Amino acid sequence: MKPINTALCSFGMSGQVFHAPFVDVNPNFSLYGVLERTKNLAQEKYPDVKTYRTLEELLSDEAVELVVVNTPNSTHYEYTRQIIEAKKHVVVEKPFTASFKEAEALISLAEKHGVKLSVYQNRRWDSDFKTVKKIIDEDSLGNIVEVEMHYDRFAPELSYKIHKEIPAPGVGILYDLGSHIIDQALHLFGMPLSVFASVNTFRETSKVTDYFDVKLYYPSHYATLKSSYFVLEPLPAYIVHGTNGSFIKSKADIQEAELQKEVKPDTANWGVEPESEMGLLHILENGKSKKELIPTERGNYMAFYDGVFEAIRNDKPVPVSATEAAQVIKIIEVALESNKTKRVIDL
């Protein structure tokens, strides 16, 4: 079957690390083109790639079937709108859009033009999260009572990526790191009944938020999602308590680190965590305490692109629907409103 000619809208960290390596090694795709306004970084690494200087030039190329929108968050809506109207399929980096209204508009537009629209929520395929999901799906813990998820860093200095530090639609820690663990929570449990959130800025010179504590209220349990740029000693990334016991798992997926070292995602042992990072399952079995280390599932971001291929060539559902991604944006907006009004907001 013919490979899908794919173009990236930029070749910064996202393009070089999270998209180009997968498109390049997957035989179902061809890394056909990259939008770079002044540089030729993509051609230096992938000599056969075509370089575009404007989005209009990219969209006028009839050979391009799929476009990856991996530009700054505030541009996602406008870029995606133009790509859809050019009748090309789209993968949008997280966060999908800066507002729920924009997300709804793009969903309607994609349906109108008959193109596939998916959002790159790659952390669904992290090894640690896949392991947590398996434990929950297997009912090892009984009925879930409480979940706490962390995506923390120690980064007191401002980012060298200037667009992440200038206040604009879609900017701030909720959109940046929050969109990952919000998506994971919704993937596990669906939309909550209500939301309460604290969002703050602790870096002295920062103009954007760098801390959040979001609580999702479900009929049977609570989910707490937290992130801070001032966590030097790592906490467990996932803490799950149920009526049968608890499961604790570190954030130890190796894929991003391997990609940054330019390890190709088709190498042996791709996505395999060190055994030292296995999660701890502690349950009561027949009235007796039982502790065991749980082998970690294999991480695999390639599964996202495999799903995109099936969606485009075989009309299967996209791996992450735009509707699911829009719900993440909805939670972010509600969390920001909750922080502003200091109240629990019902959905």
Say which DSSP state 266 is in: T
Closest CA to 13 of 164, 125, 131, 114: 164
CA distances 36 to 133, 193, 259, Å, are 38, 43, 21
| pLDDT score, position 1 | 87
Mean pLDDT confidence for 238-246: 98
Please give the single-letter amino acid code of residue 158: L
What stretches of the chain show up as alpha helix (H) in DSSP?
Answer: 13, 20-25, 41-45, 55-59, 76-85, 100-113, 127-137, 173, 179-189, 255-260, 302-314, 322-341
Mean pLDDT confidence for 152-178: 93
For residue range 304-338, what is the model confidence (pLDDT) as tens digits?
Answer: 999 999 999 999 999 999 999 999 999 999 999 99
pLDDT-based confidence at 193, cuts 50/70/90? very high
Mean pLDDT confidence for 208-224: 97
Structure tokens at 128: 């640690």
pLDDT-based confidence at 131, cuts 50/70/90? very high
Mean pLDDT confidence for 228-244: 97
Q: Mapping DSSP to helix (H, G, I), strand (E, B) and coil, where does residue 199 land? A: strand
pLDDT-based confidence at 163, cuts 50/70/90? confident
Question: What phi and psi values does residue 46 have, to the nearest 5 degrees?
Answer: -125, 85
Question: What phi and psi values does residue 125 have, to the nearest 5 degrees?
Answer: -105, 20
CATH superfamily of 4-120+303-317: NAD(P)-binding Rossmann-like Domain (3.40.50.720)
β-strands 288-294, 279-285: how paired? antiparallel
Domain 123-299+331-346: state its class: alpha beta
- % residues pLDDT > 90 (the chain): 97
| pLDDT score, position 286 | 87
Cα separation, 49 vs 32, whole angstroms: 5
CA distances 290 to 8, 133, 140, 141, 277, Å, are 49, 20, 12, 12, 19
* Candidate from 202-206, 236-240, 294-298 with smallest mean pLDDT: 202-206
**pLDDT at residue 161 greater than cutoff 90:** no
Domains of the chain, by residue range, sit at: 4-120+303-317, 123-299+331-346
CA distances 227 to 11, 151, 180, 212, Å, are 27, 5, 11, 5
Cα separation, 161 vs 155, whole angstroms: 13
Q: Mapping DSSP to helix (H, G, I), strand (E, B) and coil, where does residue 68 land? A: strand
For residue range 65-103, what is the model confidence (pLDDT) as tens digits?
Answer: 999 999 999 999 999 999 999 999 999 999 999 999 999
Closest CA to 234 of 308, 151, 302, 138: 151
For residue range 280-312, what is the model confidence (pLDDT) as tens digits?
Answer: 999 999 889 999 999 999 999 999 999 999 999
For residue range 256-275, what is the model confidence (pLDDT) as tens digits?
Answer: 999 999 999 999 999 999 99
- % residues pLDDT > 70 (the chain): 100
For residue range 8-41, what is the model confidence (pLDDT) as tens digits?
Answer: 999 999 999 999 999 999 999 999 999 999 999 9
| pLDDT score, position 95 | 98
Cα separation, 164 vs 158, whole angstroms: 9
State pTM to two decimals: 0.96
Mean pLDDT rounded to a whole number for the chain? 97
pLDDT-based confidence at 110, cuts 50/70/90? very high
For the chain, the first-to-last Cα distance in angstroms comes to 44
